[in-house]
Structure 1
Amino acid sequence: MRYIDDDGRIVWSASDLKAAAECEFAWLRAIDAKLGRLPAVDDPEDLTLARAGRLGTQHELRVLEEYRARFPGRVVEIPETRSSDAAALAAAVAATDAALADPDVAVVYQAAFATDEFVGFADFLVRDDDGSWIVQDTKLARRARVTALMQLAAYVDQLDRLGVPRSDRVQLLLGDGSVSEHAVRDLLPVFGLRRDRLRALIADRDVPAGAAGASLAWGDERGALRVVACGRCATCDLEVIAQRDLLLVAGMRPVQRDRLRAAGVVTIDALAAAREAPPRMSWDTFAGLRTQARLQLESPAGGVAPVASGVPVAVPTFEVVFPKALGALPRPSRGDLFFDFEGDPLYTEGAGANGVTNWGIDYLFGWVDLDEQYSALWAHSFAEEKAALEQFLDFVALRRQTHPDLHIYHYAPYEPSHLLAMAARHGVGEAAVDRLLAEGVFVDLYPIVRRALRVGSRSYSIKKLEPLYMGDEVRTSDVQRGDDSIVRYVEARTLQDAGDAASAQEIFDDLADYNRYDCVSTRRLRDWLVDRARGADLLPS
């Protein structure tokens, strides 16, 4: 999206359809920033997203190479152009028009389109057998998303505007090597609605007023326009904290927020002091949200104000609100294990024998026992992942012979769901994983925490709970988040491939320490929950 100061107009692109669909409030605030009405919000650096972008570009270039080989001399590549360079953009549009009119051209790469309100660059336009053009876009994703289909429809709309014959189908060239094909007649009506919505949003910003116009205020739905805020992005989060919005309350759903606001309860403070449930909200739901709000206000880790860097980790307040949920914990066994995966969702080895590209590897299987003795299995390829899966299942089966009452604890459903997917992909261990699940060997502590406790924190991630039971054992690893571990793993693999084994091993050791800490954290959370159960005169079952 660009603001043309001289003409006083906004020019949008196909990617703006996606951005506005994700958060209209943030998109409109970005317009306000371009108009000089308020400072722009910087999105936090996302190294994983940046890597996905690089891999997406590589995928696009591989497709381009395939077309060059398939249609030698018949692929027109429009030079890369910045939409802010008016002269270069005009030249790119002219080159695109000429290529579309040339009967010898089979593929146009980065076709450029521009109008007074729109600018865009289509990945590929491919001539069909009947001479019409098929709009194609490369996406690293493994399935079609509506936002990607709207981008394709935007380029179809441009071909229609130019009167250029186009196919009645569009195609997404997905990251797994498959092609997702869709009928244009199914997409254009939805695209028309999305485009009209975008135009209405832009018109609401009173662009001709420039910096003198009013910026969009948090909570202002603009009447019948009903602007939607996602409540999660960086732009929204700043406002949620500044306005002490109900979205600060952990577990607050949009429909619950709407009902509370309709009853005049608009801040976390008002909710903590409220005495009556709003219409169409049960008393139990209201009481749970009110308790959560109160605890967050009382807690130094409540997340109701920006956290300065360098501040020691605060211990959140908590209350046991449903002790019986703690009684559902299994009785501890000497054979218990505390398990955690580390994975890279963007790892791939290219297309397999079936022509399908598999994505994602769990490169580290880690666990500790009751003595916090750490064990790990590494997997740097799909073949090694298969072997690690078999070794892990064999180890568990052997341990169950000695400790038939053992359980494998984890936090959130990632571990069992990935074991199932991994077994299905490699064709090994499916019956063993099914048996472990059917016999209740895996125990997810997350739903027990959510049902039994209220914690004075915006998040119930295990990282936010650790101050309750980890004491002074603060992480010292360079790796602090799951996304960080993925980036560090890729860095280590790059160093390893370059022959720097020592530097790679340092990172692998740090990743193992990160994984070990997560396993120990799961073990101590289990013990902490057992202590809470005993404090309520309950015994684990």
Structure 2
Amino acid sequence: MRYIEHEARIVWSASDLKAAAECEFAWLRAIDAKIGRIDAVPDPEDATLERAAALGTAHELRVLDEYRHRLGGAVREIPAARSSDVAALAEAVRLTDAALADPSAEVVYQAAFATEEFVGFADFLVREPDAGDGRPRPWVVQDTKLARRARVTALMQLAAYVDQLDRLGVPRSDEVQLLLGDGGISTHRVDDLMPVFALRRARLRALIADRRVDSGTAGAVVPWGDPRGDLAVLACGRCPTCEIEVVAHRDLLLVAGMRPVQRDRLRAGGIDTIDALAAAPAAPEGMSADTFVSLRTQARLQLESPAGDGAAGEHVVPTYEVVAPASLGVLPRPDHGDLFFDFEGDPLYTEGKREHWGIDYLFGWVDTRERYGALWAHSFDEERAALERFLDMVAVRREQFPAMHIYHYAPYEPTHLLTMAARYGVGEADVDRLLRDGVFVDLYPVVRRALRVGSRSYSIKKLEPLYMGDEVRTSDVQRGDDSIVQYVEARALAADGDVEAAQRVLDDLADYNRYDCVSTRRLRDWL
């Protein structure tokens, strides 16, 4: 997005279609910040997102190299230009127009488009093969995405570039293509996309009009909680921009488990803050009494708890109540053979032809005496071997302890075992049998049904002060994302020959994984 002050004009890009679709409120606040009405909300540091962006760029450059190798000088590469650099942008547009008109051009890389309201750079425009009918060969719009499947927001970006070709009267294909991270090509009909694009573009125009750009810095900042009348602005409630407002306004979204439809019904009934909900005498129209009581209890506990707003420190013990004792009764009787299991994984790992993405590089577990076992996997072959060894170990253990169970928190572990078994074609019957026999026990739904905890989050990390005592984690690795970053660092160190440094990082990751397993065991015992 670009703000041209002397013309009181907002120029949007294809990426703004995605940003507005994710959170209209945040996008409107971004316009206000561009105009100077409010400070911009900084993007939080996220090493995982930065890595994904770098991998996405590498994917794009690999595709470019393939076109260079195959087509040589028929690939027209438009020099990079910032939308704020008027001269460079104009030159990029001129070169794009020339390339599109050049019959010897087969591919245009980073084609530039600019109008009074739009600026954008298409990854690739590729000519269709000659149909032999004497007509000009149309251009196919292609975009590279690291994702393994098409998303609507990505398709809207393609549609934006199709719209620009139509504006210029340039022949274009009836299809667009996403070049996916696993090497697949996702092809879509333009006629299916353009009606949706027209609606999204009209929505952007309406949102921009609401900001009264011509008022400059004197214009009002879009308020939190104001749908702007019939415009009905949507806020995601989760992004950094929304989070600031949620906390500042004591919004109902502070309440753990609050769904948007529930928030809407409470607000319609005059209940618009966590404080008002905690003191509300009765449910609003359209909300069941049970749902209301559950949410009110959650709000009250968060207000009573020193950990209620998530800002009181990592190790504050939250208040809690047992609201459904019978739900604790679903837990199996403890058995000496029980295991407490946790994966560590890297969703962006790939190798070879990049047909598969994601590896669970550490299978970790503890037994009832908190003895730790682990299997490492640094390649897909090793992951397959680790899966087979893990299933063999469980099979032997079940023979020794027929009543054993494998405890975990949230559904990641059994889901990924199924995914691995399907990927490698091994152990599918074994995993299926474990699931059918109820060997896996997910503690997360037990906690959610049985307890109300005075915390905005029910992540196991937030529950640990209840049962870990003086052993609440203080390691450098605090989150799953942190472990991924450190694992990537360990691989880089090993690749550079610093094996000892790499091993130290892996040892830290094993300690982190062991703690997660111990935490799961103690949560089971506490429940």
* Deviation >4 Å, runs of 4+: none
**Counterpart contact for 2:314–2:462, Cα < 8 Å:** no
**SS of residue matched to 1:340:** strand
Once the 2 structures are TM-superposed, how far is the Cα of residue 369 of structure 1 from its aligned partner? 0.4
Letter matched to residue 81 of structure 1:
A
Q: CA deviation at 1:198?
A: 0.1
Does the aligned pair in 1 maintain the 2:464–2:472 contact within 8 Å? no
CA distance in structure 2 between the aligned counterparts of 1:215 and 1:289, rounded to whole angstroms: 31
State how far apart, in whole Å, the 1-side matches of 2:190 and 2:399 are: 59
SS of equivalent to 1:72 = helix
Instruction: Return the alpha-carbon distance in structure 2 between the equivalents of residues 276 and 528 of structure 1.
Output: 33
CA distance in 2, matches of 1:60, 1:334: 52
The answer as to 2:142 corresponding to 1:140 is no
Asked if 1:276 is matched to 2:278, the reply is: no
Instruction: Kindly state the Cα deviation for residue 312 of structure 1 after the two structures are TM-superposed.
Output: 5.7
Q: Contact conserved, 2:328 with 2:450, CA < 8 A, in 1? A: yes
Q: What is the aligned-residue RMSD (CA, Å)?
A: 0.8
TM-score, normalization by structure 1: 0.95
> In structure 2, what is the equivalent of residue 432 of structure 1?
430
Secondary structure at 1:357 match in 2: coil
Aligned to 1:489: 487
Q: Distance in 2 between matches of 1:477 and 1:255?
A: 38
The correspondence of residues 1-400 of structure 1 with structure 2, limited to 5 A, is 1-130=1-130, 131-303=137-309, 306-307=311-312, 311=313, 313-351=315-353, 357-400=355-398
The counterpart of 1:510, out of the listed 483, 508, 511, is 508
* Pair 1:450 & 2:448 matched: yes
Report SS of the residue matched to 2:188. strand
Equivalent residue runs for 1:461-540 within 5 Å: 461-529=459-527
- Distance apart, 1:323 and its partner CA: 0.2
CA distance in 2, matches of 1:476, 1:205: 46
Give the letter for the 2:115 counterpart.
T
Q: How many residues align?
A: 521
Partner amino acid, structure 2, of 1:499: G
CA distance in 2, matches of 1:244, 1:202: 28
Partner of 2:133: none
Distance of aligned partners of 1:302 and 1:490 in 2 relative to their CA distance in 1, 3 Å threshold: same
Give the drift of 1:474. 2.8
- Give the whole-Å Cα distance in 1 for the aligned partners of 2:272 and 2:147: 38
Secondary structure (helix, strand or coil) at the match of 2:458 reads coil
Give per-residue Cα distances to partners, 1:194-232, cap 9 Å, x unaligned: 000000000100001111100001001100000000000
Q: Distance in 2 between matches of 1:261 and 1:416?
A: 39
Q: Point out where structure 1 has 5 or more consecutive residues left out of the alignment.
A: 530-541
TM-score, normalised relative to structure 2: 0.98
The percent identity for this pair of structures is 77
Inter-partner Cα distance in structure 2 for 1:80 and 1:7: 25
- Give the Cα separation in 2 of the matches to 1:470 and 1:210: 54
Amino acid at match of 1:116: E
What one-letter code is carried by the residue in structure 2 that aligns with 1:328? V
- Measure the CA separation in 2 of the matches of 1:37 and 1:82: 24
CA change 1:312–1:435 in 2 (3 A) is closer
Looking at structure 2, the residues matched to 101 and 111 of structure 1 have their Cα atoms a distance apart, in angstroms, of 13
